[in-house]
Amino acid sequence: MALRILFKKPCFPIPSHYGSTVPLRQFKTFSLPELPYDYGALEPAINGEIMQLHHQKHHQAYVTNFNNALELLDQALAKGDASSTVQLQSAIKFNGGGHINHSIFWKNLAPVNEGGGEPPKGPLGLAVEEHFGSLEELIKKMNVQGAALQGSGWVWLALDKETKTLSVETTANQDPLVTKGASLVPLLGIDVWEHAYYLQILPVD
Partner 1 sequence: MAMASQLLLLPNLRFHSNSQSAPRVISNPICRPLKLSKFQKRYKQSLRDSRVLAFYGRKTPPYKLDALEPYMSQRTLEVHWGKHHQEYVDGLNKQLENSPLYGHTLEELVKVTYNNGNPMPEFNNAAQLWNHDFFWESMQPDGGKSPWGGVLQQIEKDFGSLEKFRDEFVEAALSLFGSGWVWLVLKTKEKKFAVMKTSNAVNPLVGGEIPIIGLDMWEHAYYLDYKDDREKYVMTFLNHLVSWHTVALRMIRAEAFVNLGEPKIPVA
Which residues lie near partner 1 (CB under 8 A)? 53, 57-58, 61, 90, 94, 150-153, 172-174, 193-195, 198-199, 201, 204
Minimum distance, C-beta of residue 202 to partner 1, in the bound complex (Å):
9
Contact (CB, 8 A) for 188 and 108: yes
Which residue type, as a one-letter code, is found at position 168?
Answer: V
| CA angle 196–201–203, rounded 5-degree value | 175
Considering the complex, state which of residue 44 and residue 151 has its C-beta at the smaller distance from partner 1: 151
Considering the complex, state which of residue 131 and residue 180 has its C-beta at the smaller distance from partner 1: 180
Minimum distance, C-beta of residue 151 to partner 1, in the bound complex (Å):
4
102 is in an annotated binding site: yes
Please tell me the distance from the alpha carbon of residue 172 to that of residue 204, in angstroms, as a whole number.
Answer: 27
Considering the complex, state which of residue 43 and residue 194 has its C-beta at the smaller distance from partner 1: 194
Q: Tell me the CB-side half-sphere exposure of residue 159, using CA atoms within 13 A.
A: 10
Please tell me the distance from the alpha carbon of residue 35 to that of residue 193, in angstroms, as a whole number.
Answer: 19
Minimum distance, C-beta of residue 58 to partner 1, in the bound complex (Å):
6
Minimum distance, C-beta of residue 199 to partner 1, in the bound complex (Å):
7
DSSP state of 57: I
Please tell me the distance from the alpha carbon of residue 153 to that of residue 172, in angstroms, as a whole number.
Answer: 4
Q: Which parts of the chain fold into alpha helices (H)? A: 48-52, 60-79, 82-87, 89-108, 122-132, 135-148
Considering the complex, state which of residue 73 and residue 159 has its C-beta at the smaller distance from partner 1: 73
Minimum distance, C-beta of residue 118 to partner 1, in the bound complex (Å):
31
Q: Tell how far CA 159 is from the center of its chain.
A: 17
74 is in an annotated binding site: no
Considering the complex, state which of residue 130 and residue 194 has its C-beta at the smaller distance from partner 1: 194
195 is in an annotated binding site: yes
Q: Residues comprising the binding site for Mn(2+)?
A: 54, 102, 191, 195
Q: Residues comprising the binding site?
A: 54, 102, 191, 195
